[in-house]
Chains A and B, each alone.
Chain A
Amino acid sequence: MRAQFKNTVSELAAQDDSIVIVLGDISVYMFKDFWEKHPNRFYNMGICENTLVSVTAGLSSQGFNPFVHTICPFLTDRSLEQIKLDMCYNNFAGNIVTCGATFDYAWDGATHHAYTDLASLRMLPNMEVLHLGSKREVDALIRSQYKSPRPTYYRLSDHPHTIETNTEFGKGTVLKNEGAPLTVMTAGPILTNVMEACRDLPVNLVYFHTLKPIDKALIEQFRDTEILVVHDAYGLYEAISEVPALRMRYHGLPDAFCGWYGTVHDIRKRIGLDPASIRAAVQTLLEDRSQAARPR
């Protein structure tokens, strides 16, 4: 997804002088050709996330369309106030692009795990929040949103899905509609596991890449079903909750630091986000519903 980000932005920058890249000493080699082609629009600014965001706001104030990019927790947790005030409150737009989603840097431990970004950025007025799941989504949504008058957050992962989805900003995708009483809703790359888990189960499956604004009209279509949110971060459950009075459950992160290493797959398995565990969770819910419906 990072390579797609670079390719898309490079293509756009060839035609649009307003694009400026601000890096926090990450993805630098990947952007080498951009740097060579546009040296005055490429800044590997340093490991100074607060200033990266403030500078991005300042560039935006003067009519540029900047992309600030570095590792997720350091940009979105450490610099939350810069995003809130310098971008959102000042109404200076710009593009915030992170890598290292959730457990992408599993082996680096909890300092590098990132799961609060979507939820916290969702709460900021003016913000657009994207949990991108595939390379197609990266390409389409950067193209459609990079000149948005609002700050836009793009969360990239090293483990994209390859499933065809609607890439229109603000729109979700119904991947399975069986008229079932249970609907699984998910977002981002974990769709790979959710799809595998639910493929032959009698549930509906709805997917989102845009968490803010969330596609309320689509959610409304499943109001009469029970909704199971399966997500490897915080933010989607809260976004769906914007639609009032839904029957919802969450299957995702524990309220604990995930103090293991290994790979993203290792940690997903440990906390129940591998396909088998997700399937078991859905089946349990289906059995509970079935027992509740049985006459006593």
Chain B
Amino acid sequence: MNDDICRKIRSEILNISHKSGHGHIPTSFSIVEMLTAVYQTMRHDPKRPDMPERDLFVLSKGHASLGYYCTLAAHGYFSFEDVYGFGAFDSRFGCHPDRTKVPGVEASTGSLGHGIGIAVGMALAAKIAGTTRKVYTLIGDGESNEGSVWEAIMVAVNTKLDNLTVLYDNNQSQGRCLPIMNPAERFRAFGCDVAEMHGHDLSAIKQALARPTDRVRVVVCNTVKGYGCQTLSENVYEWHRRAPKPDELNKLQEELHAGAI
């Protein structure tokens, strides 16, 4: 069942990228289980995206928007077909998410290192207001080259935001320039409650999100760019920002549906 939803999301990512000519497919693939775990854990109502008592999610690595839109669609916020205009002039679904256009999107992101700070503010607001609201944000390892990510972590720890969960997509994207070695150790050194796991194990991520904590929670997910399609995972630089042609789409769909993800 869970494999089915993740496979469906990946399949639609491929279809929409093919149809629109846009999309960062490998980075969108790497976060499918993380996103699905969040949306299967947090309080939300796709039919009432502005439900007052909802939990909040911020995709800080906004360039993975296609994965985000397809996850929202899979959970009923809108149809996959709605997203087929991805990146088109008059589409609601841009290559980076806009909160004023897409139901369920809480913050417009794109420039890296911003979303996590906004999420810290949201979590602090929930504390001040005395609500039980939880805030989740998903950051990338490449994004974590930005100093503002670590500023935000320091502030979150110092303000004791035990209602904030940071999911860290450790997909090794910065191996060619500024890699972050041992991210779990780094987050521990900053004072976070850290869990580390295989980033495509949906149930493990959900268990980590459900476990009570009295600190800022960081879930380091060791992921694979392009996970689910061998062609993508073995050629991540070539496929970093590229849409599949018709024959490529067929091959990728075959790989996706043949694999045991």
Q: Which of A60-68, A133-141, A255-263 contacts B (4 or more CB under 8 A)?
A: A60-68
Do A81 and B111 touch (CB < 8 A)?
yes
**Inter-subunit contact A85/B111 (CB<8 Å):** yes
Is B114 a contact of A58 with CB atoms below 8 Å?
no
Contact check, A43 vs B159: say whether CB atoms are below 8 A apart.
yes
Interface string of A65-84 (1 = CB under 8 A from B): 00000000000000001100
Known: A51-B120, A54-B117, A81-B111. A41 touches B128 (CB 8 A): yes
Dominant SS among interface residues on chain A: helix
Whether a CB of chain B sits under 8 angstroms from the CB of A50 is: yes
Q: State whether A61 touches B158 (Cβ < 8 A).
A: no
Cβ contact within 8 Å between B117 and A82? yes
A109 contacts the other chain (CB 8 A): no
A125 within 8 A of B: no
Residues of A within 8 A of B113 (CB): 50
- Bound CA span A41–B159, Å: 12
Check if A54 sits within 8 Å of B111, measured CB to CB. Answer: no
Distance of B17 from chain A, by nearest CB (Å) = 25
Q: Does A40 contact B (CB under 8 A)?
A: yes
Chain-A contact segment, one of B149-157, B181-189, B194-202, B228-236: B149-157
A7 to chain B, nearest CB (A): 22
Q: Does A90 lie within 8 Å of B152, measured CB to CB?
A: no
Q: How far is the CA of A153 from the CA of B114 in the complex (A)?
A: 20
Set of chain A residues within 8 Å of B110, measured between Cβ atoms = 85
**Interface residues on chain B, number (Cβ under 8 Å):** 31
Count A-side interface residues using an 8 Å CB cutoff.
29
Contact yes or no, A48 B125, CB < 8 A: no
Q: When A85-B114, A86-B117, A91-B100 are in contact, do A64 and B155 touch as well, CB less than 8 Å?
A: no
Q: Restricting to A170-215, which residues have a CB under 8 Å from any CB of B?
A: none
CB of A48 within 8 A of CB of B151, answer: yes
Min C-beta distance of B135 to chain A, whole Å = 8
Residues of A within 8 A of B129 (CB): 62
Cα A18 to Cα B240 in complex, Å, equals: 44
**With an 8 A cutoff between CB atoms, is B5 at the interface?**
no
Query: What are 16 sample pairs from A and B whose C-beta atoms fall under 8 A apart?
Result: A43-B159, A45-B158, A48-B154, A50-B151, A51-B117, A54-B116, A55-B118, A55-B124, A58-B121, A58-B123, A58-B125, A63-B125, A64-B125, A86-B107, A89-B108, A90-B99
Which 7 A-B pairs give the minimum distances between C-beta atoms?
A58-B121, A54-B117, A62-B125, A55-B121, A48-B151, A51-B151, A50-B148
Instruction: Contacts A46-B158, A51-B151, A90-B107 known; list 14 others, CB within 8 Å.
Output: A40-B127, A50-B117, A50-B151, A54-B114, A54-B120, A55-B117, A55-B121, A59-B122, A61-B106, A63-B125, A82-B148, A86-B107, A86-B114, A91-B100
